[in-house]
Chains A and B, each alone.
Chain A
Amino acid sequence: MTSPTWDANDDRLMDELKAAVTEAGQVPADVVAAARAAFIWRTVDEELEFLTLTFDSAEETALVRGAFGSGSRMLAFEAQGLNIEVEITGEHLVGQLLPPQLGHVRVSTPDGNVVDAAADEAGCFLLARPPAGPLRLGCETAQARFVTEWMPI
């Protein structure tokens, strides 16, 4: 059982309370500002279908990591009737819609910047990688409009 020792000890409780209160004062101003700004996304993409992450090379064990070139990351997403595979390199997002189909793909950053590109008949697309920070992919096909969760890259 891990009941904290301060359960019965006032001095220990005060020590831990101090640590807890101090911790709250250590969140940097830019982290606070980013959390505040996230609220503008409340209704932006609410009508879109979610693409679920089904593969992330960052989650593979060290043994198979070598299968992908160092410096790039593979991600796969899935929704009803659509899969997206994408490789993120230092400068680009290179990917494919599956089954192959025409579409429009975009990558968004939290500040509202969007980079977009067409997917060709083979479903292939190439996007410039945003400089830094979390991003999300969006996709519009003849059938529907999709979006992934936000993810730090």
Chain B
Amino acid sequence: MTEKATVAELLAAAAAGDQAAWEGLMERYLPLVYSVARRYQLSDHDAADVSQTLWLRLVEHLSDIREPCALPGWIITTTKHEALRVLTAHRRTSPVDPVVAFETEKSDGPEPDAELLRAERHQALREGLADLGTRDRELLLILLADPPVPYAEISRRLQIPVGSIGPTRARCLNRLRATPAIVNFLSVAGAYDKGGDRDDFANVGR
């Protein structure tokens, strides 16, 4: 399984029993699943259960997924749905804060869901980063390091003049914006606002 395997290839190989392809799907989507699960003020334990449930469902639907582009949408919708159910079920066994309950129910409505859009945006950025050439990715990751790496050190490690780092960064970011993941994300961004429903990825279900 190459690093550049497409989602369609990963799904097909995983459906055929390839554990490495399953790991590829995990590497790609686990941060998305977990960040969505964490969004609903679930305990660490409940968020872990919701994530586990998502992966147990995905493994049974691997060969049903006809449209790989729909996978992130299905992941977000399913994770959100299960997280809200766990939240409600567990809240019934503990004192209810009416304000929190109201906020939670409200956030499940057709309102723009900024947090979910953010999770989707982050997913697109990680995929875009993975789509970049190795050198571009290396430069961006070293520039993101915390604590920051001095330009002199970056220059030494990546063998580019200090004066070129700024302009190179700008070119890398433009190439990032041009990756399929980001182009696709920008073309559909706002689907939540328009009342578009990401639930319509019924291809994934049985």
Contacts and interface: CB of A to CB of B under 8 A. Distances in A.
Contacts of A46: 60
Contact of B92 (A35, A41, A70, A151): A70
A149 B57 contact: yes
Given A31-B30, A36-B22, A62-B96, A18 B85 contact: no
A112 interface: no
Contacts of A28: 44, 48
Given A38-B56, A39-B22, A70-B92, A21 B35 contact: no
Interface string B117-161: 100011101100100000000001101101000000000000000
A42 B55 CA distance: 10
5 contacts: A2-B117, A3-B190, A23-B122, A34-B48, A152-B82
Interface size class of B (residues with CB under 8 A): 35 or more
A42 B17 contact: yes
Nearest to B42: A152
Contacts of A36: 22-23, 26
Contacts of B105: 61
B125 A17 contact: yes
A37 to B, nearest CB: 8
A4 B170 contact: no
Contacts of A7: 177, 186
Interface string B16-35: 01010011001000110111
A125 B56 CA distance: 26
Interface of A: 1-4, 7, 10, 13-14, 16-21, 23-24, 26-28, 30-32, 34-36, 38-39, 41-43, 45-46, 50, 56-59, 61-62, 65, 70-71, 73, 110, 132-134, 136, 149-153
B53 A150 contact: yes
Given A39-B59, A132-B45, A151-B82, 19 more contacts: A2-B190, A4-B121, A4-B189, A10-B173, A14-B140, A14-B143, A14-B173, A16-B125, A19-B122, A20-B123, A32-B30, A38-B56, A42-B15, A42-B62, A43-B17, A58-B89, A71-B92, A151-B85, A152-B52
A19 B156 CA distance: 26
Contacts of A38: 52, 55-56, 58-59
B122 A27 contact: no
Interface of B: 14-15, 17, 19, 22-23, 26, 30-31, 33-35, 44-53, 55-60, 62, 82, 85-86, 88-89, 92-93, 96, 101, 105, 112, 117, 121-123, 125-126, 129, 140-141, 143-144, 146, 169-170, 173, 176-177, 186, 189-190, 193, 206
Nearest to B16: A42
Most chain A CB inside 10 Å of its own CB: which residue of B34, B44, B58, B146: B34
Contacts of B206: 50
B136 to A, nearest CB: 12
